[in-house]
Amino acid sequence: MTVRQAEFMMAIATILISLGLMWSSTDGLAIGWVSEKGPGSGFWPFWLSLGMLMCAILTLVRWALRLTPESRSTESYMSRDAVIIVGTSVGALVALLIGIHLIGIYLALVGFLIFYLKIVGRHQWPITIMLSGGGPVFIFALFEWGLKIPLPKAVTEEWFYPIYDVMYGSDHFWVFILAAFALLATISIAVHRLLPAGEE
Amino acid sequence: MESILISLSGGLLQALEPLNLFMIILGCTVGLFVGAMPGLGSVNGVAILLPITFLVPPTAAIIFLAAVYYGAMYGGAISSITLGIPGASTAVATVFDGRPLAMSGKADQALTAAAIASFIGGTISVILFTLFAPPLAEFALKFGPPEEFALMVLAFATFIGLGGDDIPKTMFSILIGLVLATVGLDIISGKPRLIFFDVPGFLHGINFLVLAIGIYGIGEMLWTLETTGGKVIVHKVKLTWSGFMTNVRSVRVYIKSTTLGSILGYFVGTLPAAGATPASLMSYGLAKTFSKDPDSFGKGNIAGVAAPEAANNAASTGSMLPMITLGIPGSPTTAILLGGMIIWGLRPGPLLFSENPDFVWGLIGSLYVANLFTVLINLAFIPVFVRVLTLPFTVLAPIIFVLCIVGGFAPTQTMHDVWLMLLFGIVGYLMRKLNYPVAPAVLAIVLGPLAERSLRQSLLSSQGDVLIFVERPISAMCIAIAVALMLYPLFLAWRKRRRSGSTNGGPEGSDA
């Protein structure tokens, strides 16, 4: 696909999005003046979406007249290499999110990191294991312990009951900060040691 | 003046409190790292790290994020010089002379000059900030809803007039950001709006962080993976103490262009669409114009490193001026800081100075302290940062992705938002490849609710008469400047067409 074709498709997509937003703004909402109450709820989004539509149509017109650099370009929109690396990353991220729903965030993170480091990055096993093991532990320490934000664990919820007991027993900010950074430091030192010269 | 000094000393004391000082040092270090990594700039760092700052009180949180912002401006120079690729877009101009200096074995000289120039830029701009902010905030206290709205129109108009991107695409970006901000319950009538496909997740609206992390986290990583393919080559740096002292002494060579660049950077930085990148490029141009030896620029002139570095640091401070005093962010990074302030329960705008003086002066005080610490950390740890840059991107990318996913979940704690974030990241990446600017959308989603409220309040008080925006002097002036800014590209196109005659008359001005 050339950049010119991509520009056309994006213009069409933005026109459709604008129309969709305009339609949603009128869905049971007043887009004009409501007496005593001022502008209706749909007023602001409707007229802005109309503006979006105008801009999108203008982009399409400029495309047809070949006014923008993108509409003249016959270069490839995404090279083969780009499709491979970006596609793999997006695929891995989608798999990670599906994984979070099914097997919980921690197992999904381990899987994601192993895949990315070992298969995409072709790194050595020690660094892969170090990061894919240490990463989720760090995330746990930071979010669940430090920020008290429970992350979705799906079926693995029960595994964490013993950890919760310890966690809510002691609760000190500086202990947490020190623990988190000790872990981070260990991981980063280890990563530097383990990265062979050839990978730099 | 005296009251400013008293408040400032209070702010400095606050910045030196243990937790805040720790946050400054941590923030500077993280910022230097973020700035030095190609593909990550201040805006990416601040967007990805904001959810984590809920750990600490708001003052400590903004101090941390401001220090990250600051550090990133210093850090950008490290990769510009040692890798020859800018660590952040703000350090593009640093490559022009930084790379030739590194090639001729003077990387240490360039790095020291960058750090010292950044320090000078930071110091000059923070002093200007301290002098300008309180009077501006006091003036802005007179603003009612019509002035607020007019000011936001002006902020968006700067993107159209000065952004330099394709105009219909820029406007589309602004408008979609504003519309996405309306999703959820209407603040005035309480009615649900734009609940796409009746998905309940849209009822709580679209948090600005979902868009910001999507675009600046996921989208940026995809972009960097494509452009670098995961490989970088580093230039060797050798640092010695005696060499360092010689480099420090050579500051007189570039002190003039650095001072000029700092003042320029500060004022350019206050404009929402401009900011650190154009400021550093303009400063580079200025240094070259006023130099006795303009031909040496681009071949390794030390002033060519110092001038843009001073300007980008000054611009980062400058962009905080409208954020703190008017509630209008001066850059995408400050837009995210502004959104953070709303999450922390603060109301950005002129009232901040009277309602939360501790917060404001703590932030200002921390800028002074952060400036000092960043230059020290930077000079002391240059070799470490250079080492960090050798990390293959395939190690960094998954770590950033994981932080984005968890950071996107944290504010609202729904998976709905994480999916939305991924979607925004992919769409943002695809649109960026076609030169749709993404920064206006992030600014718009933060300002959207405020803009809508001030518009509806204004129209309600005037009984639907839109003339209210031109009848009041301050808002009329803002609207007039905004209209002039929007017409400026048309004027440029017209002039260009007239000059080139009928031979080559395409309206290219809008693409310039």
ipTM field: 0.87
Name chain A contacts of B188, Cβ cutoff 8 Å. Answer: 38, 41
**What's the Rg (C-alpha) of chain A?**
25
Name chain B contacts of A142, Cβ cutoff 8 Å. Answer: 52
> Between chains, do A52 and B179 touch, taking CB under 8 Å as contact?
yes
Q: Which of A52, A72, A92 is the last residue of a domain?
A: A72
pLDDT of residue A200: 36
> Between chains, do B398 and A142 touch, taking CB under 8 Å as contact?
no
pLDDT of residue B229: 65
**What is the CA B153 to chain-centroid distance, rounded?**
19
Q: Partners of A148 in the beta sheet?
A: none
The nearest CA of chain A is from the CA of B48 a distance in Å of 13
Pair (A68, A166) in one structural domain: no
Give the count of domains, chain B.
Answer: 1
pLDDT of residue A111: 93
Whether residue B277 is contained in a domain is answered as yes
Quote the DSSP letter at residue B52: G
Are B129 and B321 contacting, i.e. CB atoms less than 8 angstroms apart?
yes
**pLDDT per residue over A25-54, tens digit each?**
887 777 777 777 778 888 888 999 999 999
pLDDT of residue A195: 62
Whether residue B483 is contained in a domain is answered as yes
Whether residue B11 is contained in a domain is answered as yes
Residue A152 has pLDDT above 70, yes or no: yes
Residue B353 has pLDDT above 80, yes or no: yes
> Of the candidates A113, A100, A152, which has an alpha carbon nearest to the alpha carbon of residue B402?
A113
Pair (A107, A183) in one structural domain: yes
Q: Which residue of A has its CA nearest to B171?
A: A55
Show the DSSP H helices in B292-356 as ranges. 303-318, 320-326, 332-343, 351-355
Name chain A contacts of B221, Cβ cutoff 8 Å. Answer: 89
> Between chains, do B179 and A113 touch, taking CB under 8 Å as contact?
no
CA dist B213 and B150 (Å) reads 28
Residue A193 has pLDDT above 60, yes or no: yes
Chain position carrying tokens 């793999």: A88
Are B61 and B100 contacting, i.e. CB atoms less than 8 angstroms apart?
no
Looking at chain A from residue 20 to 49, which residues have their Cβ under 8 Å from any Cβ of chain B? 20-21, 24-25, 28-29, 33, 37-45, 48-49
**pLDDT per residue over B70-98, tens digit each?**
888 888 888 888 777 776 777 888 888 88
Residue A197 has pLDDT above 80, yes or no: no
> Between chains, do B182 and A44 touch, taking CB under 8 Å as contact?
yes
Q: Partners of A76 in the beta sheet?
A: A2
Pair (A159, A64) in one structural domain: no
Give the count of domains, chain A.
Answer: 2
Whether residue B177 is contained in a domain is answered as yes
Kindly report which listed range (B90-99, B273-282, B444-453) carries the lowest average pLDDT score. Answer: B273-282
Residue A176 has pLDDT above 50, yes or no: yes
Which site among B401, B402, B433 would you substitute to test the A interface, given the most A Cβ atoms closer than 10 Å to its Cβ? B402
> Between chains, do B402 and A3 touch, taking CB under 8 Å as contact?
no
**pLDDT per residue over B184-230, tens digit each?**
888 777 788 888 888 888 888 888 888 988 988 898 889 888 877 65
> Between chains, do A93 and B402 touch, taking CB under 8 Å as contact?
no
Range of the domain at A195: 80-199
Kindly report which listed range (B143-157, B380-394, B402-416) carries the lowest average pLDDT score. Answer: B380-394
**pLDDT per residue over B302-311, tens digit each?**
888 999 999 9
Residue B233 has pLDDT above 70, yes or no: no
Angle between helices B58-82 and B18-36 (to 10 degrees): 30
**pLDDT per residue over A85-121, tens digit each?**
899 999 999 999 999 999 999 999 999 999 998 888 8
Mean pLDDT of B273-286: 80
Pair (A118, A194) in one structural domain: yes
Whether residue B502 is contained in a domain is answered as no
Q: Count Cβ–Cβ pairs < 8 Å, chain A vs chain B.
A: 187
Residue B175 has pLDDT above 70, yes or no: yes
Name chain A contacts of B399, Cβ cutoff 8 Å. Answer: 131, 135
Whether residue B507 is contained in a domain is answered as no
- Amino acid residing at B316: S
- Average pLDDT score over chain B: 84
Are B316 and B46 contacting, i.e. CB atoms less than 8 angstroms apart?
no
Kindly report which listed range (A128-137, B300-309, B493-502) carries the lowest average pLDDT score. Answer: B493-502
Chain position carrying tokens 């503006």: A51
Token pair belonging to B460: 């309600």
> Between chains, do A82 and B226 touch, taking CB under 8 Å as contact?
yes
CA dist B368 and B361 (Å) reads 11
Mean pLDDT of A130-159: 83
Higher pLDDT, B449 or B172: B172
Mean pLDDT of B391-405: 84
> Between chains, do A90 and B507 touch, taking CB under 8 Å as contact?
no
Kindly report which listed range (A159-168, B35-44, B163-172) carries the lowest average pLDDT score. Answer: A159-168
Pair (A65, A94) in one structural domain: no
Q: Which residue of A has its CA nearest to B228?
A: A82
Whole-number Cα distances in Å, A80 to A122, B39, B249, B430: 19, 21, 51, 15
Phi, psi of A148 (to 5 degrees): 60, 35
CB of A175 less than 8 A from some CB of B: no
Whether residue B504 is contained in a domain is answered as no
**pLDDT per residue over B334-346, tens digit each?**
889 998 888 888 8
**pLDDT per residue over B100-114, tens digit each?**
888 887 888 888 889
Judged on CB neighbours under 10 Å (0-12, 13-18, 19+), A200 is middle
Residue B395 has pLDDT above 90, yes or no: no
Mean pLDDT of B153-162: 83
Pair (A153, A54) in one structural domain: no
Q: Which of A51, A72, A93 is the last residue of a domain?
A: A72
pLDDT of residue B501: 61
> Between chains, do A131 and B399 touch, taking CB under 8 Å as contact?
yes
pLDDT of residue A15: 95
Pair (A51, A93) in one structural domain: no
Pair (A111, A132) in one structural domain: yes
Pair (A170, A99) in one structural domain: yes
The nearest CA of chain B is from the CA of A162 a distance in Å of 23
CB of A16 less than 8 A from some CB of B: no
Pair (A127, A62) in one structural domain: no
Pair (A84, A176) in one structural domain: yes
pLDDT of residue A100: 93
Show the DSSP H helices in B37-166 as ranges. 42-49, 58-82, 92-103, 107-140, 145-162
Whether residue B509 is contained in a domain is answered as no
Q: Which of A30, A56, A72 is the last residue of a domain?
A: A72
Range of the domain at B482: 2-495
CB of A123 less than 8 A from some CB of B: yes
Name chain B contacts of A25, Cβ cutoff 8 Å. Answer: 193-194
Q: Where are the beta strands (DSSP E) in B204-287?
A: none
